[in-house]
Amino acid sequence: MAEDLRSGMTRRHHGDGHMSLYGGNQSLFKEVGDWVEAGEVIASVGKSGGRKDAALYFEIRHNGKPSNPLKWCRNKPKRVSAAS
């Protein structure tokens, strides 16, 4: 379920005490209460916090405590650079 926290940040509840947080977004494509399917685009990454390049803040929490996000990723994350 979608929940917008503040401009450029969103949180998704996955059930069983799990949630994911995404920050630094330029645009949010889901409204509060929207259901989100796996693989669905929920936001576009933006330049915030005085950063020169676009970046994303990503966090997984279980029962309110940070958890290793690699457990949720299917493939090892790869560093991606913005297109010029």
Domain count of the chain?
1
Asked if residue 63 belongs to a domain, the reply is yes
Q: Does residue 37 fall inside a structural domain?
A: yes
User: What pLDDT score does 65 carry?
Assistant: 94
Is residue 61 included in any domain, yes or no? yes
Among 35-39, 48-52, 58-62, top mean pLDDT goes to: 58-62
Q: Residue 83 falls within a domain, yes or no?
A: no
- Structural domain boundaries enclosing 51: 2-71
Dist. CA 36–CA 56, nearest whole Å: 19
pLDDT in tens, 27-46: 888 888 888 888 888 888 87
Which distant-in-sequence residues (6+ apart) come within 8 Å of 23 by Cβ?
8, 9, 48, 56, 57, 58
The CATH number of whichever domain residue 14 belongs to comes to 2.70.70.10
Q: Report yes or no on whether pTM surpasses 0.75.
A: no
Is 54 contained in some domain? yes
